[in-house]
Amino acid sequence: MKNIDDILKYLKQITLLYVEDDQSTMEEVSYFLQSKVKNLITAKNGKEALDIFKSSDDIDVIISDVKMPVMSGLELAKEIKKISVDTPILITTAFNDSKFLFEAINIGIANYITKPINLRILVESFYDVSKSIVLEKENKEIYNTLSQYKDIVDERSIIIKTDSNGIITYVNEPFVKISGYSKEEIIGHNFNIIRHEDVNSEYFSNLWHTIKDEKKLWQGEIKNQSKDKVTFYLDTIIKPILDLDGNIVEYISLSTDITDLVQTREYFKNQTQKTALDLKDSINILSQYKDAVNKSNIIIRVDKNRKISHVNDAFVEIFGFSKDEIIGQDYSFLKNPNLNEQEYKEFVEEVFSENGRKGIIVNKSKDHRDIYCDVYTYPLKDLDGNIFEYIGIRHDITEIVELHKELEDTQREIIYKLGEISESRSQETGQHVKRVAEYSKLLATKLDLNEEDINTVFTASPMHDIGKISIPDAILHKPGKLDEQEWEIMKTHSQIGYDILKNSSRTILKAAAEISHTHHEKWDGSGYPLGLKGEDIPIFGRITAIADVFDALGSDRSYKKSWPIESILELFHKERAKHFDPILVDIFFENIDEFLEIREKFKD
């Protein structure tokens, strides 16, 4: 019996329609369920229940007797499925033969309980469908939140998407506003349509070489021209989006309008070139611009010995240090302790170079908060060209970075929820998908996959059994061995999961489709559904196969008890180069202590 608090957590959110013509059974079961659900509605026959369902829009689950006057339970189920195919229906019956079972499966019955009703079995079956419904509701809420986050990003940034040939496929409203082109006018045209004639071809050749040939992110300033020939400047990041084979699918550009900043910079340049006769006015103007820059930016100055010589009020407000606490400290005083030492060393060398540095840095505030800044560092030189000081102009982008992290966390939570939905139907815990994810990440790391692939398999592997959402509960929950026909139905979950996810253009969901499709393939070619062999099986599928089997064998299921660790290890020895990739099996044994630590940390 599952924990009562866990059961009530889900049942208390459910509106239940209970249909039973026998008065004593109705009273007994209703009394038992009344305090456990959010709302309980009763009906004495199928016709009455159907009328109630048609007039209500908040019924989550139906429990119905089969043999009733006016309209039977199976007839009621058929009519309900015409109206709402997703509404779970549990039936109570004295019948228990295969003909009745297959008829119930064909209708789409979620489960059946034999009479006389065992209340423990009733509540466990009801709990399983209730948990799935609540998780789906929560998932919709997460999708709604993610959509709102996307709207925020869409409003804050200028976004352009192109295909692999540079043809524009999407622009957002901020782009329409700054460029003067409508979406209809711009989509389908080459990105060069907004290119300013003053920008030489070499600049764009280097840009395309970075994103197309090297397949790397490019960041820089671009001078553009609107439909009305008005010049505007964008601080731009362009990222190539790759498929699983490393081919470019599209490019995404996120930009910030820096027209005012560039024009101010040019004005500074022009003003400093005035003759000596205008020097007094120039100094006055420069002083005013310096004041404006100081009030609108976070400013830090560092001498050539790398000691902090000045910070402005905005710096004090953001970082929390007083000027007395910060001035005179070494530049490394602000170093975030979580930064990699080598990466920080390279960053500092660029900051204190002849050319300065432009980029993003994370520091620590006085109260130990992470502060993310977009940094422009410039060396200040005397008339002889010698550097005497460095000035850093910073913009606090902590809110944007934290929003991006929240988007990533939300995406990962959605995938876990989808995995939990499928696992809850097969009576496996949400901890199963977490453990499979952690085991997969450990294997990928020890195999020395790159960081992107490690994160991909970690995020996508929880969806390995998503296809089980389409397998009947009568098969998923069968306590004994499946017969041949039931086993063939069970095996379809790999193909079903692949079909659900295969058309996504998102890297994580494409990886999840591949994992669903191939994690039951075997090294010797005896697996399903494709009969792939050896390295023809994608690496993500081979990794998840070991993670899934290791966790399944060590966990209780409706059809078996958990295996002792000695038996599990003996099986992996036996199935090396038969079921499993031999290299991955060797890695598994070399790191078995870490696998056991994960199992203990995320135990049910």
My answer on whether 135 and 162 are in the same domain is no
Q: Which carries the bigger pLDDT value, residue 109 or residue 595?
A: 595
Provide the pLDDT for residue 582: 97
Instruction: Decide the pairing of beta strands 89-93 and 111-114.
Output: parallel
The mean per-residue pLDDT over the stretch 400-407 comes to 74
In a domain, residue 292? The reply is no
Domain boundary among 201, 226, 257: 257
Buried b (16+ CB within 10 A) or exposed e, 264-281: eeeebeeeeeeeeeeeee
In a domain, residue 266? The reply is no
Instruction: Decide the pairing of beta strands 387-396 and 298-303.
Output: antiparallel
Q: Across the chain, what does the average pLDDT equal?
A: 84
pLDDT band for 346, please (50, 70, 90 cuts).
confident
My answer on whether 412 and 374 are in the same domain is no
CATH of the domain at 326: 3.30.450.20
Write the DSSP string, 200-225.
Answer: -HHHHHHHHIIIIIS---EEEEEEEE
| Residue 565: DSSP 8-state | H
Token pair for 157: 């940034």
Find the range with the poorest average confidence among 145-149, 474-478, 526-530.
145-149
Spell out the residues 6+ positions from residue 393 whose beta carbon is closer than 8 angstroms to its own.
Answer: 293, 297, 298, 299, 375, 376, 377, 378
Provide the pLDDT for residue 588: 96
Token pair for 568: 């599990």
Domain boundary among 396, 420, 445: 396
**What is d(CA 61, CA 14) in angstroms, rounded to the nearest whole number?**
7
Provide the pLDDT for residue 261: 79
Q: Looking at this protein, which amino acid is placed at residue 354?
A: E
pLDDT band for 420, please (50, 70, 90 cuts).
low
My answer on whether 454 and 506 are in the same domain is yes
pLDDT value at 430 more than 70: no
My answer on whether 64 and 207 are in the same domain is no
Domain count, the chain: 4
Spell out the residues 6+ positions from residue 305 whose beta carbon is closer than 8 angstroms to its own.
Answer: none
Q: Which carries the bigger pLDDT value, residue 280 or residue 515?
A: 515
In a domain, residue 495? The reply is yes
Which residue is associated with the tokens 């496929």?
169
Write the DSSP string, 415-429.
Answer: HHHHHHHHHHHTT--
Token pair for 103: 């008829």
Helix, strand and coil content of the chain, in percent to the nearest 5, comes to 55, 20, 30
Q: What is the pLDDT of residues 492-513, one digit of tens each?
A: 989 988 998 888 887 888 999 9
**What is d(CA 281, CA 283) in angstroms, rounded to the nearest whole number?**
5
Helices and strands (H, E) in the chain, number of each type: 24, 15
| Residue 140: CB atoms within 10 Å | 11
Residue 483 has φ and ψ, to the nearest 5°, of -80, 180
Domain boundary among 202, 237, 257: 257
Residue 81 has φ and ψ, to the nearest 5°, of -65, -25
pLDDT value at 15 more than 60: yes
Provide the pLDDT for residue 276: 43
- 463 CA to centre of own chain: 12
pLDDT value at 293 more than 90: no
Q: Which carries the bigger pLDDT value, residue 383 or residue 277?
A: 383
Burial, 465: exposed, middle or buried (Cβ in 10 Å; 0-12, 13-18, 19+)? buried
In a domain, residue 286? The reply is no
My answer on whether 373 and 487 are in the same domain is no
pLDDT band for 290, please (50, 70, 90 cuts).
low
Q: What is the pLDDT of residues 173-182, one digit of tens each?
A: 889 999 999 9
My answer on whether 21 and 130 are in the same domain is yes
Percent of the chain scoring above 70 in pLDDT: 86
Is the bond preceding 240 in cis, omega lying within 30 degrees of 0? no
Residue 193 has φ and ψ, to the nearest 5°, of -60, -25
Burial, 127: exposed, middle or buried (Cβ in 10 Å; 0-12, 13-18, 19+)? buried
In a domain, residue 107? The reply is yes
Spell out the residues 6+ positions from residue 485 whose beta carbon is closer than 8 angstroms to its own.
Answer: none
Give me the sign of the Cα torsion angle 530, 535, 540, 542: positive
Find the range with the poorest average confidence among 30-44, 61-75, 91-105, 560-574.
91-105
Instruction: Decide the pairing of beta strands 111-114 and 61-65.
Output: unpaired
**What is d(CA 445, CA 437) in angstroms, rounded to the nearest whole number?**
12
Give me the sign of the Cα torsion angle 26, 31, 37, 42: positive
My answer on whether 496 and 409 are in the same domain is yes
My answer on whether 327 and 358 are in the same domain is yes
pLDDT band for 337, please (50, 70, 90 cuts).
confident
Provide the pLDDT for residue 149: 58
Q: Are 294 and 310 in contact (CB under 8 A)?
A: no
Q: Looking at this protein, which amino acid is placed at residue 569?
A: L
pLDDT band for 1, please (50, 70, 90 cuts).
very low
Token pair for 555: 């966990």
pLDDT band for 590, please (50, 70, 90 cuts).
very high
Provide the pLDDT for residue 465: 87
Provide the pLDDT for residue 355: 75
Find the range with the poorest average confidence among 267-281, 292-306, 546-560.
267-281
In a domain, residue 284? The reply is no
Write the DSSP string, 537-557.
Answer: S-HHHHHHHHHHHHHHHTS-B
My answer on whether 165 and 252 are in the same domain is yes
Provide the pLDDT for residue 466: 86
Provide the pLDDT for residue 277: 47
My answer on whether 116 and 219 are in the same domain is no
Top-confidence range, 59-73, 346-360, 383-397: 59-73
End-to-end CA distance of the chain: 14
Q: Which residues form the domain of 367?
A: 297-396
Alpha helix (H) residue ranges in 426-472: 430-446, 451-460
My answer on whether 554 and 436 are in the same domain is yes
Provide the pLDDT for residue 147: 65
My answer on whether 315 and 380 are in the same domain is yes
Find the range with the poorest average confidence among 205-214, 366-375, 398-407.
398-407
**What is d(CA 202, CA 96) in angstroms, rounded to the nearest whole number?**
77
Q: What is the pLDDT of residues 321-331, one digit of tens each?
A: 998 998 999 88
